[in-house]
Amino acid sequence: MTGPGFLAVDSGGSGLRAAVGAGGRGPLARAASGGPVRTGGRGIDPGHFVERLVPMARALCAEAGIERPEVAVVGAAGLAGLGDALRAELPDALHRELGVRRAALAADAVTAYVGALGPRPGAVIAAGTGLVAIGTDLTGWRRADGWGHLLGDCGGGAWVGRAGLEAALRAHDGRRGGSTRLLAAAEDVFGPAAELPGRLYPRTGRPAVLASFAPRVGECAADGDPVAVQVLRAAARHMADSAEAVCPAADAPVIGLAGGLFRMGAALLDPLDEELTERLPGVRWVMAEGDPLDGAVRVAEDLLAGSFTLPYDERMLCVTGPEGEVVTRAAGVRT
């Protein structure tokens, strides 16, 4: 092995993913486990996080031939609003259990940004089950939406799926604004329309269930269903709203598109292109270069190489040493 080791982690609603590697050699071993880290009265549960992560990290270090990771980078969903306990306890736990000397804790929007665009100015729309937009001019961070499916995430997968199911039930009732195509798709996925509330409301993972219908909305839109087309056009408007709010001033801004929702292709990308062009003259959008775990790897490699340039923020992105010593200070975040 050449170069010090690193641990990169992506923690989200679908579970934990991790990679261990060495400076100059990139990731050498990867693993994933299903199920999210628990949240409770203290926010993200640091004890459960350590319980889930440490055995995986030790196994990856053994597989990669790395004695200990010098640096750990953790991108976690909910860190900005639910991460106080995690920020207070995780760096010491990683030092104690794995020998980590520097730990970077980042909101998953930040690691999604780095995975999509790298460490350069711009904005990223991250659209999966939810939706969040994040931008930076390399002096600070701006975030828009990401408020969850009850308060926001407008234009994300759960939003699209819910709008599609609403149109299906309108058709079932004979109300205006319904789509028989979406009704047929909904019954194909969930069974009889009248039973849909009973199948959906008791579920603990309702956002994921709603988002599971989004691809069918995309298929109906691609086939020309006018209601589905309007749903995706509305989603594109919401995405452009968030991108406009966070995009740094530039003559030709770059916006990265990250997340599984964009796999719909032209049915979503064409209206989004129109909305972005109208709001941000000269805009150029690109598909993400990588995912949030790739972003965490990039941050780890830059920290090891001493070439880290992203702005720090106490809630969105901070780097600490053992026993909570703050290595870098925040530049500020606007939400």
Kindly report, residue by residue over 215-249, the tens digit of the pLDDT: 999 999 999 999 999 999 999 999 999 999 999 88
Q: What does 50-100 look like in DSSP terms, one character per residue? A: HHHHHHHHHHHHHHHT-S-EEEEEEEETTHHHH-HHHHHHHHHHHHHHH--
9 in Cβ contact with 75 (< 8 Å): yes
Q: Which residue is listed with tokens 């270069």?
A: 289
pLDDT tens-place string over residues 249-296: 877 789 999 988 999 999 999 999 999 999 998 889 999 989 999 999
The predicted pLDDT at position 310 comes to 85
Give the span between the Cα atoms of 154 and 210, in whole angstroms: 13
| Angle at alpha carbon of residue 129, lines to 7 and 86, rounded to 5° | 40
All residues at 6 or more sequence positions from 71 whose CB lies less than 8 Å from its CB, including other chains: 4, 5, 6, 7, 100, 101, 102, 103, 104, 300, 303, 304
Q: Tell me what the mean pLDDT of segment 159-167 comes to.
A: 97
pTM of this structure? 0.82
Which pair of structure tokens corresponds to residue 283? 């805009």
Tens of pLDDT, residue by residue over 44-83, are 999 999 999 999 999 999 999 998 899 999 999 888 888 8
Give yes or no for residue 28 having a pLDDT over 80: yes
Phi, psi (rounded to 5 degrees) for 20: -120, 135
Q: Are 80 and 315 in contact (CB under 8 A)?
A: yes
Q: Is the pLDDT of residue 109 over 80?
A: yes
The arithmetic mean of pLDDT across residues 184-204, rounded, is 90
Q: Which of 5-19, 78-92, 169-183, 310-324 has the highest mean pLDDT?
A: 169-183
- For residues 329 and 296, the answer to whether their CB atoms sit within 8 Å is no
